[in-house]
Amino acid sequence: MKQRRFFMIFALLLTIGLVLGACGTSDDTASSNEDGGSEDQNDSSESGNEGSEESTESESNSDFSVAMVTDVGGVDDKSFNQSAWEGLQEFGSNNGLEKGQGGFDYAQSESDADYLNNLTRLVKNDFNLIFGIGYKLNDAISQVSERYPDRQFAIVDSVVEGDNVASITFKEHQGSFLVGVAAAMKTESNKVGFVGGTESDLIKKFESGFRAGVKSVNKDIEIEVQYAGGFDKADKGKLIASNMYKQGTDVIYHASGATGNGVFAQAKDIKKNDPEANVWVIGVDRDQYEEGQIGDNNVTLTSMVKRVDIAVQDLSTKSMNGNFQSGVIKYGLDDDAISVATTNEKAYTEEISNSVNEWKQKITNGDIEVPSTREELQTYLDSL
């Protein structure tokens, strides 16, 4: 009996011990989960803070928007407007902006009458900084900047006064001088040509620099100059080029926007019919090597590269960071905003490259002052 009672007491104590042990295990697990949960929550909180910081940065960028208005050449002119748009796209990509309202965008102008309407529409769409691409937008930028003094504007290739206007200019005559040197060294007929868009002060700047560069190498080279009357006249550009090539011109430099597409088209037509024909085009504003490709040949000798894309990105970044710079901003050879393309290594020989670099050094050293007007050109030619 005593033995039976002993076993019953022992079993009862054993049961109580197991129950207490189980309770202790449950408490420990809960404590462990609470600690782990706290750590997870801390991690989540830190992650949330990081996300908040990223969001804040994104929101900071998304608070800024930028747009541009093209001239009649269009955003795909393979030249001036296209370079500007590529710069704006790069800026948008680098800063997490999307195309459209609240990000980056463009408005294309089909005629001069569209400039003011396009600029006004972009203002009403709340873009912070708005570019007018080309000197033809001068009057429209002047009007809209006065009407909206709290908005920032920029014009490329012209000067508009105003505390809220940045005027971006380039030393195109310097680059045009250098491609003139290349043309003079490449020609076999001693006849070269220049095709301009409109006969404006800006395009005469290209013409003057080009003619100075050609004559600096050989005063006896003939230079044919013609203007198409617009930057959107590819057919006219093709006709002018056709006449020049027929008269023996073998190198044509164009400063004519989309009109220059016709110059390339004519050179490629000639090359297609006669692969041995000696016809060349010098592109403008961006490296136009691809525009000259015809089968295994390429008619692009070189291009006078004007980094409108870099200027657009530079000012957009400054504006976004609260450092908008009004007034005249100049870009030239010194800061690599003007350069000469060397892509066509077969045509743009080492000899040409060396000579161009020698003349570039003279310009940057101040040994020669490149003419930017016809009057300055005449004075320069008289000194040769």
pTM: 0.77
Question: Which CATH number applies to 172-305+349-383: 2.20.25.10, 3.40.50.2300, 3.60.20.10, 3.40.630.30?
Answer: 3.40.50.2300
Paired with 133 in beta bridges are 156
Judged by phi (left if over 0) then psi (alpha if -120 to 50, else beta), residue 257 lies in left
CATH topology of domain 63-170: Rossmann fold (3.40.50)
The sign of the CA dihedral 297, 282, 274, 191 is negative
| Inter-residue long-range contacts of 270-279, CB under 8 Å, 24+ positions, other chains counted | 270/245, 271/297, 271/299, 278/188, 278/189, 278/250, 279/245, 279/250
Q: Do 63-170 and 172-305+349-383 show the same overall fold?
A: yes
Q: Are strands 66-69 and 104-107 parallel, antiparallel or unpaired?
A: parallel
Cβ neighbors of 188 (< 8 A, separation 6 or more) are: 250, 278
Whole-angstrom distance, CA of residue 102 vs CA of residue 80: 25
How far apart are the two ends of the chain, measured CA to CA in Å? 137
Residue whose C-alpha is closest to residue 218's, from 245, 187, 194: 187
Helix (H, G, I), strand (E, B) or coil at 227: strand
How far is residue 202's CA from residue 173's CA, in Å, rounded to a whole number? 9
- Report residue 217 as tokens: 């190498």
CA atoms of 79 and 255, how far apart (whole Å): 9
For the chain, domain boundaries: 63-170, 172-305+349-383
329 forms beta bridges with 168
CA distance 45 to 38: 10
Tens place of pLDDT per residue across the chain (384 aa):
444 444 444 444 444 444 444 444 333 333 333 333 333 333 333 333 333 333 333 344 568 999 999 999 899 988 889 999 999 999 999 999 999 999 999 999 999 999 999 999 999 999 999 999 999 999 999 999 999 999 999 999 999 999 999 999 999 999 999 999 999 999 999 999 999 999 999 999 999 999 999 999 999 999 999 999 999 999 999 999 999 999 999 999 999 999 999 999 999 999 999 999 999 999 999 999 999 999 999 999 999 999 999 999 999 999 999 999 999 999 999 888 999 999 999 999 999 999 999 999 999 999 999 999 999 999 999 999
- The rounded distance, in Å, linking the Cα atoms of 291 and 78 is 8
